[in-house]
Structure 1
C-alpha cells in the first residue's frame, strides 16, 4: 500500500563549532510529510531556505537528531516563523545551551516515542555516542532511517570531541540500527546515504580500528 508522505532534501551550509574549533560544513535537512503538513529533521543554518522548501505546508515539529550547533542553529528562527515546536532529547540540553542559552526546546524526545506526520510514523531511537541525546528516526513505511551524525556511509559519527564516546556509539549502532531490515535506507546528517545492510558488514572493522 502506497503512502502519501514523501521525503524532501535540502543542503544548507554554515559552520560547526565545539571545543574551541570551527569547521565549514554542509548539512542535510530532511523534510518528511505530504502536501499539507511536514516535520523538519535538523534545522541547519538557514531558516529562510527551509521555509522556502516547505512551500507553505504546515510545519508540525522541528525534530533535532542532536544538539551540535550546526544541526540546531536555525531552529529558533524556524520555530518563530512557523509556530512549530522544537523537540530534543533531554540528554542533549547541555549542548543545546552552548548555542541557545536563552531559548530552550519546546518538548522532549524519548526512546520509543512515535512522531506522527501525514500517514507515517517516525519512531524515535535513542542512539547516544556522538552526543548523549542523539536520536535516529525510523520510518518503517518509508523504509528509511534518519541517522543524524550517528551513522554514515562507511562508519560511525565522530567521537573525538566533548560529550562523545566511541564504545557508546558502537553499541548504539549495533543494537539500535543494524537490527533494522538490511534494505533500510540510511539518510544522514552530512553527505550521501547508504543502507543498513551495507554498513553492517563494516562494524567489526570500525571496532578494530577504534574509529
Structure 2
C-alpha cells in the first residue's frame, strides 16, 4: 500500500529502532472518578520504519456498521490480533512485554491482545467512546496505545459531560509516543480522535489490552 508520509525530523533512527525506558519518564495525569492517563513521548525510537512496515504487512480491512437507519463505512482501517496470534512485527511483541512488566503491580495481569487502526488522513477518525466491551464495563483496566506516523490529538472528556468543555484533556500523539489510559477511564471517561480539515499525514495506533477487554 502506498501512502504519502512525512517522516519526523525528531524521530532519529541513527541508533536503530528500539524502546526507551518507562519508569520516571512516564508522566501521569490524574482525572476524576479514579481515572488516569500516562504519557511517554517518543517511547519508540525510529518509529517511522515500523510505521512503513505495518502499512505494508498488516492485513488491513475496512468495516461497515449500522448507523441509525443506514449502514456506513467506518472511517479508518482496522486489524485485530487475539491473544493466540503473533503480532505483525517483533517490535510490537517487545512493546507488549515491556508494558506488561512496567504495569504488572497495578494491572495484575499481562497485555494480551492488540488492535490496530490506520488513520489515512484527517477524514479518518473515531467518535467519542470508551472501551467497554467485556470486563471493562465493571472493572478497572488499562489500554496502552502506541502511536506511529503523524501526530493526531487524543481527546478525553468525562462520560456524560459533552457540554463541559472545561474538563476536556487533549494529548497530541504520534511518532512513537505512548499513552496509557487506566483506572476507571474506560467506564467514566470517553476518548476520541476527531476529524480535521487541516492537512495531516497518516497515523497508525496500536492498542494493547488484556483478555476480555475490547
Q: Name the TM tier (shorter chain).
A: under 0.3
TM-score (norm 1): 0.28
Q: Greater RCO between the two (CA within 8 Å, min separation 6)?
A: 2
TM-score (norm 2): 0.28
Higher share in helix: 1
